């Protein structure tokens, strides 16, 4: 135990010496005191921070509350039975509107009571809808305008029903819902919006229909139609009438004209995914041009393509993202079965972009004459010298692809789209 004589004033050195502690030079004492202060400061800081976090901890119940919850907690004490909100219309129907248009409607809220009426916007049902109040406090007899606005460009064609709530201090109208609704459409609506064929065989012919509904004036006309691959695709159209089902549809019944088109896929498309675009011109100044996407996949009996990264549903080889200066490669197995095996003579015809490297192995035959299988392994590599590029989201003019020749008369070509990107 350390005993100190308190009969006289002592110094720090006296205390240290009388406690029989080894002598510590002054500069070291200063260092020790600094360390102790630092430790105490950190401890106090952590304690304070913990206390603050404990007191002010995030409470998920405080966020994204329903109007009824806000009213229950806050409006109860502020309610005034002498404040009376009166509103004659709470929902407005815009009817048929162009999807590109913006609109607004003014609702009127009047204070018919004898005390001040308070108004506050609570929230809306979607970000495409908002509410603006002209006044947040109304004296007896005063009227406020609640402007409900919408941006239809953020909505899809079809029925639209959105709104929001205004919270008041009227105990009989704690919240007032203000709604807007309607049918939003484009001058021309195609149904379906894109033509997607199921898996087809290369020798198969198949036709799909598209109906164009015109909501503008005059009556809709398609003045021209163009597409690139006329050897394998055909497009025809003619005027039509609304069917019984369409007449019962709230939106379609307002169409002033209908055109039905037929898209035909002809035999001879190569194995793999296909896509085509039909470019249409119309007599509508509001929508003079349209594009109709056509896509699908061709399968050939006796030929299969498999491998890691090969998406069978789209026929696309996925290489992913590669850092510049690094390499990435995938192996794809191309298999010919049965009668096609003996005739198959696979070779690489074209690679896009041309910096991609390909290696094709010699064929390997397995099985007897009747059940023969011929295997090829195709290796596709993004080399270290590849430039920075993005072929993950490619358009028709900028698509990565490997084109293979099979040596078969009925299915001479296999096209394998490739998705990859090289980043810096």
pLDDT digits (tens, 9 = 90+) for 110-131: 999 999 999 999 888 887 788 9
Give the number of other Cβ atoms within 10 Å of residue 362's Cβ: 7
The pLDDT score that the predictor gives to residue 203 is 81
Give the number of other Cβ atoms within 10 Å of residue 240's Cβ: 16
User: How is 67-131 classified by DSSP, letter by letter?
Assistant: HHHHIIIIIHHH--TT--EE-S--EEEEEEEETT-EEEEEEEEEE-SSSPEEEEEEEESSTTEEE
Q: pTM above 0.75?
A: no
- Using the structure block, give the residue that is written with the tokens 């497009």: 235
Phi, psi of 260 (to 5 degrees): -110, 130
Q: What are the boundaries of each domain within the chain?
A: 6-39, 78-185, 188-299, 303-423
Higher pLDDT, 228 or 250: 228
**C-alpha closest to that of 183 among 286, 252, 104:** 252
Class of domain 78-185: mainly beta
Mean pLDDT confidence for 21-41:
46
CATH of domain 303-423: 2.60.40
Rounded distance, CA 68 to CA 123, Å? Answer: 12
Residue range 188-299 in CATH 2.60.40.10: yes
DSSP 411: S
**C-alpha closest to that of 261 among 297, 218, 294, 296:** 294
289's tokens: 């041009």
- 77 to 13, 74, 114, 205, 224: CA distances (angstroms): 66, 6, 18, 73, 68
Rounded distance, CA 420 to CA 424, Å? Answer: 14
Mean pLDDT confidence for 65-76:
43
Q: Using DSSP, state whether 132 is helix, strand or coil.
A: strand
Mean pLDDT confidence for 284-293:
93
| CATH topology agreement for domains 78-185 and 188-299 | yes
Determine contact, residues 170/79, Cβ cutoff 8 Å. yes
pLDDT tens figures, 203-224: 889 999 999 999 888 999 999 9
User: How is 189-244 classified by DSSP, letter by letter?
Assistant: EEESSEEE---EETT--EEEEEEEEE-SSS---EEEEE-S-TTTEEEEEEEE---H
Rounded distance, CA 131 to CA 120, Å? Answer: 10
pLDDT tens figures, 289-337: 999 999 998 887 789 899 999 988 778 899 999 999 999 999 999 999 8
Q: Using DSSP, state whether 360 is helix, strand or coil.
A: strand
Q: Which of 86-95, 348-357, 389-398 has the lowest mean pLDDT?
A: 389-398
Determine contact, residues 72/95, Cβ cutoff 8 Å. no
252's tokens: 């379609």
Rounded distance, CA 109 to CA 84, Å? Answer: 10
Question: What's the distance, Cα to Cα, between the start and end of the chain in Å?
Answer: 69
The pLDDT score that the predictor gives to residue 23 is 45
CA dihedral of 390, 196, 332, 387, whole degrees rounded to 10? -10
């Amino acid at each position: 135990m350390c005993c100190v004589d308190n009969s006289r004033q002592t110094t720090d050195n006296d205390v240290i010496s009388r406690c029989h502690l080894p002598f510590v030079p002054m500069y070291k004492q200063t260092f020790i005191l600094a360390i102790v202060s630092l430790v105490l400061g950190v401890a106090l800081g952590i304690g304070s921070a913990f206390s603050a976090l404990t007191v002010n901890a995030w409470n998920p119940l405080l966020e994204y509350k329903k109007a009824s919850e806000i009213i229950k907690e806050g409006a109860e004490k502020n309610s005034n039975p002498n404040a009376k909100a009166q509103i004659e219309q709470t929902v407005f129907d815009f009817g048929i509107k162009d999807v590109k248009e913006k609109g607004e409607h003014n609702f009127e809220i009047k204070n018919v009571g004898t005390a001040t009426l308070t108004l506050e916007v609570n929230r809306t049902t979607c970000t495409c809808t908002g509410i603006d109040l002209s006044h947040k406090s109304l004296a007896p007899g005063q009227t406020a305008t609640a402007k409900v606005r919408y941006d239809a460009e953020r909505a899809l064609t079809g029925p639209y029903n959105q709104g929001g709530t205004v919270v008041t201090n009227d105990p009989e109208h704690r919240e007032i819902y203000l709604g807007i609704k309607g049918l939003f459409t484009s001058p021309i609506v195609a149904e379906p919006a894109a033509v997607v064929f199921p898996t087809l065989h290369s020798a198969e012919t198949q036709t799909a229909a598209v109906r164009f509904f015109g909501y503008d004036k005059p009556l809709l006309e398609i003045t021209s139609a163009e597409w690139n691959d006329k050897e394998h695709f055909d497009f025809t159209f003619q005027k039509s009438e609304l069917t019984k089902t369409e007449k019962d549809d709230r939106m379609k019944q307002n169409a002033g004209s209908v055109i039905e088109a037929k898209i035909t896929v002809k035999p001879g498309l190569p194995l793999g995914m296909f896509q085509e675009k039909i470019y249409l011109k119309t007599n509508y100044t509001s929508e003079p041009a349209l594009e109709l996407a056509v896509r699908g996949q061709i399968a050939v009996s006796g030929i299969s393509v498999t491998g890691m990264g090969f998406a069978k549903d789209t026929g696309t080889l996925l290489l992913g993202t590669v850092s510049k200066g690094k390499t990435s490669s995938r192996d794809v197995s191309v298999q010919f079965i049965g009668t096609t095996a003996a005739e198959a003579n696979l070779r690489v015809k074209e690679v896009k972009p041309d910096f991609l490297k390909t290696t094709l192995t010699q064929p390997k035959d397995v099985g007897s004459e009747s059940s023969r299988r011929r295997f090829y392994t195709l290796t596709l590599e993004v080399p270290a010298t590849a430039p920075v590029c993005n072929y993950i989201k490619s358009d028709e003019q900028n698509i990565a692809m490997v084109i293979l020749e099979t040596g078969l008369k009925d299915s001479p070509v296999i096209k394998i789209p490739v998705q990859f990107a090289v980043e810096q």
